[in-house]
Amino acid sequence: MIKKLICLLLMVNMVTIYGQTEDEKQLKIFYDLALTKGKSYDWLNHLSNQIGGRLSGSVQAEQAIVYTKAELDSLGLDRVWLQPVMVPKWVRGTPEFAYLESKPGYTSNVPICALGGSVATPPGGVKANVIEVRELSDLEKLGKAKIQGKIVFFNRPMDPTLLNTFQAYSGAVNQRSSGAAEASKYGAVGVIVRSMNLRLDDYPHTGSTSYGDLTDAEKIPAAAISTNGAEFLSTTLKLDPNIQFYFKQNCKQLEDVPSFNVIGEIKGSTKPNEIIVVGGHLDSWDLGDGAHDDGAGCVQSMDVLRLLKLSGYKPKRTIRVVLFMNEENGLRGGRKYASEAEKNGEKHVFALESDAGGFTPRGFSFDSSEADFSTILNWKSLFEPYLMQQFTKGGGGADIGPLKKEGIVLAGLRPDSQRYFAHHHAENDTFEHVNKRELELGAAAMVSLIYLADKYDLGSAN
């Protein structure tokens, strides 16, 4: 009996070693192909420099749909199609303008941009005294008497002591997303928000703001100010609390318009009804060209399917790339994809999203059961030679979030994030700030994880 157990353990150990060896070989193939024959950088070059910023409902967004579908068609996938989705159409209008006025005729211009979804100022702009706050709760402490008729200046920086910059972003972003709605309740005439940026520079960073259930008459204009501008405004207010701030913006919310998610797939060889998704969001804000957010994630996801085919690997499951529309100001694409999957009775077992920039990949985060996460941790050593060492529990991504149900595993690519918020939602989110090798390493990491999830039946218990 003991001899049989020893033999069995030896056999299991040999199979494990052999399996690791084969997986190491396969990952090496993926990385070599991505770094020598990758297509993601060329695709991103076109998206960024030939099309540009792709705000939902814009001409550029539609051009990106046409371009990426044609590129997926050229890969010889089993199926490529467009999934209709209605999206909001918000337009910025003519460039925003702002200044501080210490006394009549003495002004200093500061860089601002309208927050996505904001209403316009009156045609002549808004000019008023400023009250500075750090927290939404400060509004209640101050009360209507001190806020009425003023511009509220939200000036809470992202926490620089947090190495996880997405955690720092989460700790500061509510002033941008909810500041206008809350300040309106206390009679404010406008809102200026410090940009979500750890660096001091002159780039204002946009992003969505929500008015909740306010009526049109109750909505007030909201703009972001650059971090240098915020420091200047705060310092000036300390010297003279009676200064006035002027800003003018011409943005407008129009009726919803039709758009599309772009989808392509390789049909599974033995379990075609089990679906693995990899994707990013095709829309971006309009200030830069959306290279990091999220052109990088889209082209990496497209290259995952291309690299699978180029390597000769035949997936057991259907591998599907989804380029989601309208993540930035509505999440309509992600919700539509999930609702259609539910309606069609599709079984999704794993989804991977890249929406954290095209910087050097450091690992993945996973939303999964403990059993699936234990399986995933067994793969960590395969990625360590490629400096991918962070395998953590956490969210997958906004667009794949609506797919969440018991059993499915959601994952997110986690690049080095230290530089990400210097470009996020700003004019300098451009192609020149993406490194070709870093981008390709991300695609290699993603196709490697997709391969392992497919081979070892990750999430198939749902």
For residue 165, how many C-alpha atoms fall within 13 Å in the half-sphere facing its CB?
17
* Tens-place pLDDT, residues 167-180: 999 999 999 999 99
Q: How far apart are CA 133 and CA 9, in angstroms?
A: 65
What are the structure tokens assigned to 390, written together?
A: 């962070």
> For residue 238, what is the enclosing H or E element?
helix 227-239
* Tens-place pLDDT, residues 413-432: 999 999 999 999 999 999 99
* Tens-place pLDDT, residues 258-309: 999 999 999 999 999 999 999 999 999 999 999 999 999 999 999 999 999 9
| Closest by CA position to 421, among listed 166, 172, 154 | 166
Is residue 47 within 8 Å of 64, Cβ to Cβ? yes
Q: How far apart are CA 280 and CA 299, in angstroms?
A: 8
182, 274, 327, 427: the catalytic one is 327
Torsion of CA 121, 123, 124, 130, to 10 degrees: 0
328 carries an active-site annotation: no
pLDDT tens across the length of the chain (462 residues): 444 333 333 334 444 444 558 999 999 999 999 999 999 999 999 999 999 999 999 999 999 999 999 999 999 999 999 999 999 999 999 999 999 999 898 999 999 999 999 999 999 999 999 999 999 999 999 999 999 999 999 999 999 999 999 999 999 999 999 999 999 999 999 999 999 999 999 999 999 999 999 999 999 999 999 999 999 999 999 999 999 999 999 999 999 999 999 999 999 999 999 999 999 999 999 999 999 999 999 999 999 999 999 999 999 999 999 999 999 999 999 999 999 999 999 999 999 999 999 999 999 999 999 999 999 999 999 999 999 989 999 989 999 999 999 899 999 999 999 999 999 999 999 999 999 999 999 999 999 999 999 999 998 755
Handedness of CA 113, 418, 28, 364 (dihedral sign): negative
Percent of the chain past pLDDT 90, that is, above it, reads 93
